[in-house]
Amino acid sequence: MSQHPVRAFLAGTGDDGAGRRLTDILAFDDAHIEGVHDFVQWCFPLHEASLAVPGAPVLSRAEAEAIRNDPAALSGVRAALGRMTRFYAETDGWLRAHDHNHLRITRILSALSDLLGPEAAAEFHAFVTARNAGAGAPINAASLDYWASALRRA
């Protein structure tokens, strides 16, 4: 039986909806991370459909369980997390009142909670909230509330 497309993508053996491998996305420079809007849904899949990217994968409960039990797919999630953490550490454009990256961060937190566990999500949450605080807390309260809610849903 073949792997579900998102699981194969995360495991490094499949392509996303645009024909890219995870290694291609991990190699994106910061401008590509900022400007390309259809990769985050593959790196951090959720159980609900994306409003921003129609046709993005929707994770079933069974597929989430399969990813949680697949060391290669989990390694892919961790690699994607590492790349996004580096992006948020090295760039400041998202540190403003409203930015599309705030939605990405909510997605990342939700996917981490589901696939890697609440500790991984809490660690990423601590990182992005510390970056916000260090920048003078420019991010709007609603985005911060969504981030906190993503942790509570875990």
pLDDT of res. 1: 47
pLDDT of res. 3: 72
Sign for the pseudo-dihedral over CA of 58, 62, 67, 70: negative
User: Does residue 2 have a pLDDT over 90?
Assistant: no
pLDDT of res. 133: 98
pLDDT of res. 152: 79
d(CA 58, CA 139): 28
Domain span at 139 = 5-152
Please enumerate in sequence order all residues whose Cβ is within 8 A of that of 91, keeping only pairs 6 or more positions apart, or say none.
Answer: 30, 34
pLDDT of res. 55: 85
Nearest to 30 by CA among 94, 99, 97: 94
pLDDT of res. 154: 56
Rounded percentage of the chain residues whose pLDDT exceeds 90 = 92
What is the average per-residue pLDDT within 81-89?
98
Ordered DSSP codes for 11-33? HTSS--TTS--HHHHHT--HHHH
d(CA 115, CA 57): 15
Query: Where do runs of H (alpha helix) occur along 12-99?
Result: 22-26, 30-35, 40-43, 61-68, 71-90
User: Does residue 114 have a pLDDT over 50?
Assistant: yes
Residue 26: pLDDT band by 50, 70, 90 thresholds? very high
What is the average per-residue pLDDT within 29-37?
97
Number of domains in the chain: 1
**Residues 108 and 44 sit within 8 Å (Cβ to Cβ):** yes
Residue type present at position 124 = F
pLDDT of res. 97: 98
pLDDT of res. 98: 97
